[in-house]
Amino acid sequence: MSVSRAEACRRWLNALCEYMDGELDEELCAELERHLAECAPCTTMLETMRHTVALYRRWGRAELPEEMLQRLKSIVHSHLSSDTEASTA
């Protein structure tokens, strides 16, 4: 059974933190790097994560205003709900 690109991306997105921290198994690391070479969205996500970490290290933690935090949670929840509905359809 072949894995769709969306399924592959979901799998690898869960491993990006380990990859960035140098904690991903060598074989999985090579497999992820092959995926990244062919997948612009995952490469963009990795670069965004790296940039976010760099900004955090440079500027430290900032508190979000409560209204912004609630909007962000709502957007993420909506996005996750639509992904779940799409995958079960």
Grade residue 81 by pLDDT with cuts at 50, 70 and 90: confident
In a domain, 73, yes or no: no
Q: What are the pLDDT digits (tens) for 23-52?
A: 999 999 999 999 999 999 999 999 999 999
In a domain, 10, yes or no: yes
Please give the share of the chain, as a percent, with pLDDT higher than 90: 51
Grade residue 59 by pLDDT with cuts at 50, 70 and 90: confident
Note down the domain range covering 10. 5-63
Distance, CA of 19 to CA of 11 (rounded, Å): 13
pTM of the model: 0.62
In a domain, 68, yes or no: no
In a domain, 34, yes or no: yes
In a domain, 32, yes or no: yes
In a domain, 25, yes or no: yes
Q: What are the pLDDT digits (tens) for 8-17?
A: 888 888 899 8
In a domain, 28, yes or no: yes
In a domain, 29, yes or no: yes
Quote the pLDDT of residue 31: 94
Q: Which of 70, 12, 15 is nearest to 41 (CA)?
A: 12
- The count of domains in the chain is 1
Q: Is 53 helix (H, G, I), strand (E, B) or coil?
A: helix
Quote the pLDDT of residue 2: 64
